[in-house]
Structure 1
Amino acid sequence: MVCGGFTCSKNALCSLNVVYMLVGLLLIGVAAWGKGFGLVSSIHIIGGVIAVGVFLLLIAIVGLIGAIHHHQVMLFFYMVILFIVFLFQFGVSCSCLAMNRGQQEALLNSAWSMLENKTKTDLESQLNCCGLLNGTTNQAQFNQDLQNCPALCKTNTACYTCGDMMLTHATEALKILGGVGLFFSFTEVSVWSPTRDLLTAHSFDRPNEPSEDTRKTLH
């Protein structure tokens, strides 16, 4: 059965927001699961992932309520926020796809310096590596990380740095991350059309107005 224009826009917007709600709940669940099983001990990483999940969940709820009740103010703010998220996500996705080896190393160095010591040792134990990169830029930090490293490879003659192990698959990971980000960016673009239709509509199920002949007959 073919639905009307406004009804299709309403159903499409509701379906997309249900998907966003599921993604938000999935992010919150994965973060809680990782914390519960001790996979990630840094409260900043857990808090960041949960914050993204809660933000996505709230935006989806606003869009869903606005679509169901045809609340034009909520739909307007939903569209504005989604546009800002699209710009940010599109820029980050393009940056991931265009990032070279030197930029990857700089990003890893900045991220590693912000990690807590407990998070660093957790990564070293799980990846069986020590330190980030054995370079001349921050040799003192590398020596300190090597001293605190709990990895089993430290007892062997050969122990790779965590930076080298991460950079081995960094290109593939960035391509996947950029591709997924672009995909969700285009899904956010697809939301604009049904949202615009609902904003310009006075009601979802507008009753059919009587024709001119019917009016004359009634009079």
Structure 2
Amino acid sequence: MVCGGFACSKNFLCALNLLYTLVSLLLIGIAAWGIGFGLISSFRVVGVAIAVGIFLFIIALVGLIGAVKHHQVLLFFYMIILLLVFIIQFSVSCACLTLNKEQQSQLLEVGWNNTESAREDVERSLNCCGFRAFNPNETCSADCFKIQPCSPCVPILEEYSGMVLRFVGGIGLFFSFTEILGVWLTYRYRNQKDPRANPSAFL
């Protein structure tokens, strides 16, 4: 039996979807752990992470069932959705890897101004107050606020943003190539004949 055979394609596609299932459960678990231990108080951030995890879990489940049963309709929809996910993820990953310092700063400022609860998490974890400057009339959840004037958060955020964006972009780029591999493998597997099936039956 060669690696391009029916059984090998089926096993490889099942293994790929099991990997996606584990990644989705890990993503949901990390989000739940973060909010359970008080590391993340923003329900919007947690909600997005859990929604992405659930979406990935459903896609992996569809692919796994389609691979096990050699179900043409499930495999077709799985292939189309995986292709769309690949396009989006590849684009976002490339954008993360190509952002310059000025664009990163603008992106950080937009995120800072639009997420109040996440802003409190950042201030508390990085021990800073305000983005570029802190308004004394406002409150701050950082420990330094009770003792002495706190430094703004933008220098610390800019220090870590490049590293985080490179890490996220690299991980996303890696998984995007596994997705295009999954699309190609699904297309190939759909057109292969099950050797145990009736030779006169359709695919």
Structure 1's consecutive aligned runs of 4 or more residues displaced over 4 angstroms after TM superposition are: 1-4, 206-209
Contact 1:7 1:205 in 2 (8 A): no
> What's the secondary structure of 2:138's corresponding residue?
helix
Instruction: Write the mapping of 1:28-47 to structure 2, written as runs, cut at 5 A.
Output: 28-47=28-47
Deviation string 1:81-132 (CA, Å, 9 cap, x unpaired) is 000000000000110111011111111111112212x432232111100111
Aligned twin of 2:15 = 15
Q: Which runs of 5+ in 2 are unaligned?
A: none
- Distance, in Å, in 2 between the alignment partners of 1:150 and 1:3 is 57
Which of the residues 143, 149, 166 maps onto 2:135?
Answer: 143
Q: What's the TM-score once normalised by structure 2's chain length?
A: 0.90
Contact 1:6 1:197 in 2 (8 A): no
> What's the secondary structure of 2:38's corresponding residue?
coil
- Distance, in Å, in 1 between the alignment partners of 2:163 and 2:42 is 25
* C-alpha RMSD of the superposition: 2.0
Tell me which amino acid in the other structure corresponds to 1:169: Y
What displacement does 1:201 show? 2.2
- Distance, in Å, in 2 between the alignment partners of 1:169 and 1:100 is 13
Q: Which moved more, 1:172-181 or 1:23-32?
A: 172-181
Tell me which amino acid in the other structure corresponds to 2:131: L
Deviation string 1:118-175 (CA, Å, 9 cap, x unpaired) is 43223211110011123xxxxxxx527x721132223325x32222111112112211
Aligned-residue identity in percent? 50
Aligned twin of 2:113 = 113
Contact 2:6 2:193 in 1 (8 A): no
Aligned twin of 2:182 = 191
- Distance, in Å, in 1 between the alignment partners of 2:169 and 2:113 is 24
Aligned twin of 1:216 = none
Which of the residues 156, 171, 185 maps onto 2:148?
Answer: 156
- Distance, in Å, in 2 between the alignment partners of 1:14 and 1:110 is 41
Structure 1 residues 115 and 204 mapped into 2: Cα distance closer, same or farther (>3 Å)?
A: farther
Aligned twin of 2:25 = 25
Structure 1 residues 34 and 122 mapped into 2: Cα distance closer, same or farther (>3 Å)?
A: same
Tell me which amino acid in the other structure corresponds to 1:113: N
Q: What's the TM-score once normalised by structure 1's chain length?
A: 0.84
Aligned twin of 1:124 = 123
- Distance, in Å, in 1 between the alignment partners of 2:171 and 2:99 is 16
Tell me which amino acid in the other structure corresponds to 2:196: D
- Distance, in Å, in 2 between the alignment partners of 1:132 and 1:18 is 42
Contact 1:14 1:68 in 2 (8 A): yes
Deviation string 1:162-203 (CA, Å, 9 cap, x unpaired) is 221111121122111111111001011111232112211242
- Distance, in Å, in 2 between the alignment partners of 1:171 and 1:96 is 9
> What's the secondary structure of 1:150's corresponding residue?
coil
Instruction: Write the mapping of 1:52-201 to structure 2, written as runs, cut at 5 A.
Output: 52-116=52-116, 118-134=117-133, 142-143=134-135, 147-154=138-145, 155-157=147-149, 159-201=150-192
> What's the secondary structure of 2:135's corresponding residue?
helix
What displacement does 1:208 show? 8.0
- Distance, in Å, in 2 between the alignment partners of 1:15 and 1:86 is 18
Q: Number of aligned pairs?
A: 199
